[in-house]
Amino acid sequence: MDTATHVVMGVGIGALAALDPVVSESSASMQTVMAAVIIGSQAPDFDTVLKLKNNAVYIRYHRGPTHSIPAVLLWPLAVAGTVFAFSPEVSFIHLWLWTFLAVFLHVFVDIFNAYGTQALSPFNKKWVALGVINIFDPLIFFAHIFAFILWRYGAPPGITMILLYTGLIFYYIWRSLAKNKVLQLARQFHPGATHFFISPTFNWYKWHLVIRTTDRLHVTEVRNARLRYLESYPFEPIPEDRVINKAREDKNLAAFLSFSPTYRWIVHESGSGWEVKFIDLRYRSKGYYPFVAVVRMNQDLSIHTSYTGWIYSDETLEKKLKQGEKR
């Protein structure tokens, strides 16, 4: 989920802690637990700092080690331990339990969008991405805001949050069932498909879906239970080609390939050299595919610039490539 949603979920868990008599016995305890769970609800995304290094490192590791099983166990200890050092009068066990819930919920809800996490790491480093909830879901966010308003005007925080999260459980179930109906529809048209890559949108009744068969990649849209084909490309393994092999040595393209499960590539030769471009087909916005990796090489195949990340116009991509040029 996005940062704002994780923040409101952290506040929601803090309000839920009012049901714990050890926590609710004093306002100081409530404030301490609230601080810990808000920090804990953000902790797995502290890897965002990797953006300061470069996009390749960020893409390769974001939602990876920081969302793994060891991290889910270590983040609550680190956060609760730090907060406890400033407020030792609070029960550490209860502080840790509520912080653990905030961290666990963060990783758990991230599984439900198309980006996913490596939540089973280190036992299984496969990306777990259920494709049920958009990375920002207005209903989830504003339902929290509405609950906070009720709390502000006198509603008991614990009970209010129980009602909210009970409702959201049913919402997640409904969205999961809706996703399954989309997949069932796609299987009717492509019973022999090997993979389906599904991405929810802001519209509850519109889904982005890439269907991989043995020889084609179909980029489709499902809207109101109707499947519409947008584009189709040949599907084949990355060839053993000297230009592509050299491009794959680049850190940006390597990061892209470590993350993206379905893509197409374009190799273009010009008078000055070569351009290799990989395009993630899962994300399509107004006919444009924003998640790409581009490597440009001279005629001798020496790499002089590259980039990977989210780009929403060709002009912006050119600026990023110029910034990365090796002089």
Where exactly are the structural domains of the chain? Answer: 3-115+123-128+136-175, 191-234, 242-323
What pTM did the predictor assign? 0.88
In the structure encoding, which two tokens stand for residue 238, read together? 């990355």
DSSP string of 68-118?
SHHHHHHHHHHHHHHHHHH-TTS-HHHHHHHHHHHHHHHHHHHTTSSS-B-
- 47-103 per-position pLDDT tens digit: 887 776 777 787 777 788 889 999 999 999 999 999 999 999 899 999 999 999 999
Beta-bridge partners for 208: 199, 221
Q: What is the pLDDT of residues 119-150, one digit of tens each?
A: 888 888 888 889 999 999 999 999 999 999 99
